[in-house]
Amino acid sequence: MSSLPQKLLRLVEAFPKAQVLVVGDLILDTYLECRAVGVATEAPVPFLEISGQTHALGGAANVAHNLARLGVKTILLGRIGIDREGEILHRLVEEAGIEFYPLGTESPTSRKTRVQASGHYYLRLDEEDTTPLEPHQIQALSQTLSEAMKRSQLLLVSDYDKGVLKNGFVDCLESIAESRELRIVGDVKPQNIRQWRSLHCITPNLSEAKNLYSQLRPGSTCPSENLELARELGEMLSLNVVLTLAEKGMTVSTAAGVSQSFPALCAAPKSVTGAGDTVLATLAAALSCKADLFDAALLANLAAALAVSHQGTYAVAAEELSRVIQNLKTDGP
């Protein structure tokens, strides 16, 4: 057997030995299954009866879920509200086998509720509080962070712009990571990129990348070639860029400007929801096992293909990934 699939398999096998700390915006994804009863009496709007609800981990919690399913020892830190949604999120995180350090707050747990009736998605209700963490809250977390980072090989930050990864807290994370010599990999919103000094790698999608470019070079036209875009971003920010391109696959560029593109491997994707989380988690898992950036991206690309072949958000398991690698031809994808 050739070295590439073997190398990748060994990486996946090494996952259970790795530990990653995930910090970011926790979201509870709720799906309300409803039955249409008729038109409301006082307004020309649908009147639906809720017949069931399911919950899933979202945001940074979904990234952590993906890591756990890949077999990586995962620690998750984020904020939840003192409410029913917070309890549900807590339960789901623990059921996924993730070590959880929640910061409980008066603000509501961030949630996205999707209302569905007869198979049709009707509306989404989002509830969140995006105030940044207070200094006393950051203080309360710093000891846990320091201890968790001591045990981890990588810090993963998942920014959904819900207020956690901002200002003082970002400084706190970076300084502890620096003292522990821990690399930071993250999905950071373009408007928040300037908060960070020492990111090792980011995973923007195309629109986020374009947004980033126009922020860093206002007035200039964005490169039309994705490879060019990834390279310029990497050079401007001095970090590695994994640019995800949905049906066009992904393009990776190091801070030094070395780049490579990977085609999308799923011919008929069912749903792209949550695929970005899968990419980030797989990338982080591989990097925490000392993988080369391009091997890590290759693995992430394989995982993404698996994720999008499922309906809705899907966390890829280590065994599935291993099976896919074994089916690869010797001369690689």
Partner 1 sequence: MFVQDIVDQFASQSILVTGDTYLDRELYGKVTRLSPEAPVPVVKINSRRTVPGGAANVAKNISSLGGNAVLFGLFGDDPLSQEIARELPQENIKLLNLCPSNYRLPEKYRIFAANQQLLQMFHRTMDPAEIPSLPPELELKEAGEIQGKVLVLYDQGYGFVNQLLIEALGHLTKAKELKLIVDANPNHISWYGKASLYTFNADESLQAAQILGKSARTVEEAGDVLRSQLDSDVLITLGAGGMLILEGTKPAQKILATRVPLADRVGAGDSVTAVLALCLAAGIPLIEAAELANKAAGIVVAKPGIAYVTPGELMNLFHYEISHLLMESMSVKQRLLQEQLPAIEDLVKTIIHTYQNEKTVYSFGNGGSAADANHFITELVGRFQVERKAFPAVSFSANEILMTSIANDYGYENTFARQVDAFVKAGDLVVAFSTSGKSKNVVLALELAKTKGARTVGFTGNTAGEFPRLCDICIRVPSDNTPRIQESHLAVVHIICELLEKEFARHLS
Residues taking part in catalysis: 277
Q: Are 246 and 286 in contact (CB under 8 A)?
A: no
How far is 199 from 9, CA to CA, in rounded Å? 27
Q: Are 162 and 59 in contact (CB under 8 A)?
A: yes
Question: Least Å distance between CB 219 and partner 1?
Answer: 26
Structure token digits, residue 71:
């077999």
Q: Which stretch, 39-47, 59-67, 178-186, 320-328, contacts partner 1 (CB under 8 A)?
A: 39-47
Contact flag: residue 214 with partner 1 (CB under 8 A): no
Q: Which of residues 211 and 271 has its CB atom nearest to partner 1 in the complex?
A: 271
Candidate list 33, 99, 127, 295; residue touching partner 1; CB under 8 A: 127
Contact flag: residue 122 with partner 1 (CB under 8 A): yes
Q: Which stretch, 40-48, 57-65, 169-177, 319-327, contacts partner 1 (CB under 8 A)?
A: 40-48
Contact flag: residue 47 with partner 1 (CB under 8 A): yes
Question: Least Å distance between CB 116 and partner 1?
Answer: 10
Quote the radius of gyration of the chain (alpha carbons, Å): 20
Contact flag: residue 82 with partner 1 (CB under 8 A): no
Question: Least Å distance between CB 34 and partner 1?
Answer: 7
Q: Which stretch, 46-54, 89-97, 160-168, 208-216, contacts partner 1 (CB under 8 A)?
A: 46-54
How far is 126 from 196, CA to CA, in rounded Å? 27
How far is 230 from 244, CA to CA, in rounded Å? 10
CA 72 from centroid of its chain's CA atoms: 15
Starting at the earlier edge strand, list the strands of the sheet with 259-262: 99-105, 73-81, 19-24, 154-158, 183-187, 201-202, 240-244, 250-253, 259-262
Where does this chain bind partner 1 (CB under 8 A)? 32, 34, 37, 40-43, 45-50, 114-115, 121-128, 271, 273
